[in-house]
Chains A and B, each alone.
Chain A
Amino acid sequence: VNSDKPVVFIVDDDRDVRDSLRRLLTSVGLAAEVFDTAQAFLAARRADVPSCLVLDVRLPGLSGLDL
């Protein structure tokens, strides 16, 4: 992820949806990072706060609302 671009984080367990969203965001010049579960997002979260989080509500394990 290029650090000078705003980063959008995507958490969705549907791989097709996740990847297509990533491409859409990339096409408009944003950086995107994808995670398949809320736990993976929490584990990978760094000090910098995402500019935007696209979060699926229904996720295996920890739900989007729980997150």
Chain B
Amino acid sequence: VAVERAQAEEALHQAQAELARVTRVTTLGELTASIAHEVNQPLAAIIADASACLRWLAAERPDLDSIREALDSVVKDAERAAEVIVRIRALLSYSPVTREPCDLVDIVHDVLPLAGPELRRRGIVLETALAPDLPRVIGDRIQLQQVLLNLLVNAGEAMRETRPERRRVVVRSSAECRDGDVWAILAVEDAGAGFRELDEARLFEAFYTTKPGGLGMGLSISRSIVERHGGQLWGTSNPGRGATFHLALPGTR
């Protein structure tokens, strides 16, 4: 019985990991337009710089300083495009779930290049207030990135009807002492529709969605990921407008 139970648990964990991966694919699918733009911009810059270099090289006395400046920029832009691809591949990969020390501020820096362009596309100002001395947490870096990515995409979606000048997302990190243990906390604050018309308790239910075309899996999967990390994920209404989602994980210091 113990062996069967262990096998069933293993199968459940695999199914959960696969479900998490499928929802990552779905979330990235929602970001396709802005991610394509994010790769296209450096490619356009590379084409312009390479064309400039060809012209300068055709001159009788090539302007080597200008050529060098343009080539430096080509390298930088190629790295910028490659970095976006690396981040996407990491999120899409079938890599096994790991448990390693992670810094939540690193997670923020991993995710902002993917979510930032989408928020900008929606005319949203993105701000960060990141505490430098967060305790590290133990977990799967990719799954934690997924949770934050989901919160940011939701925040953007929640501000669809918000007046343009009020569209703002703030990502904060902080450390909190709970019963003698230090926890690391990330908060994503939006100025969107908030919970007023929603059934707050249903937010984390599977298949509950307010997005047109949404699957209703994002928050449900995110919460189960966070709980498997021994943490908590919850939402609060802001005093003014909008909502804040909090991700708390036990620190390892």
A residues near B (Cβ < 8 Å) are 14, 16-17, 19-21, 23-24, 26-28, 58, 60
For residue B121, which residue of chain A has the nearest CB?
A58
CA A13 – CA B192 in complex, angstroms? Answer: 25
- For residue B110, CB closer than 8 A to chain A, the reply is no
Contacts of B73 in A (CB 8 A): 16, 19-20, 23
Interchain CB contact under 8 A, A28 and B55? yes
Interchain CB contact under 8 A, B49 and A23? yes
Interchain CB contact under 8 A, A16 and B45? yes
Interchain CB contact under 8 A, B120 and A23? no
**A23 and B69 in contact, given A16-B77, A60-B120 (Cβ under 8 angstroms):** yes
CA A19 – CA B96 in complex, angstroms? Answer: 42
CA A27 – CA B69 in complex, angstroms? Answer: 12
Interchain CB contact under 8 A, B41 and A17? yes
- For residue B195, CB closer than 8 A to chain A, the reply is no
Most B CB within 10 A of own CB, among A20, A24, A28, A60:
A20
CA A26 – CA B66 in complex, angstroms? Answer: 10
CA A27 – CA B58 in complex, angstroms? Answer: 10
- For residue B144, CB closer than 8 A to chain A, the reply is no
Most A CB within 10 A of own CB, among B41, B44, B45, B55:
B45
B 219-245 to A, binary, CB cutoff 8 A, 1 in contact else 0:
000000000000000000000000000
Tally B residues with Cβ within 8 Å of A. 22
CA A26 – CA B53 in complex, angstroms? Answer: 11
Contacts of A17 in B (CB 8 A): 41, 44-45, 48
Interchain CB contact under 8 A, B41 and A23? no
CB-contact partner of A16 in B42, B52, B121, B125, under 8 A: B42
Contacts of B53 in A (CB 8 A): 27
CB-contact partner of A23 in B48, B80, B121, under 8 A: B48
**A27 and B42 in contact, given A19-B73, A20-B49 (Cβ under 8 angstroms):** no
CA A58 – CA B73 in complex, angstroms? Answer: 23
Interchain CB contact under 8 A, B46 and A20? yes
Interchain CB contact under 8 A, B80 and A27? no
CA A23 – CA B69 in complex, angstroms? Answer: 9
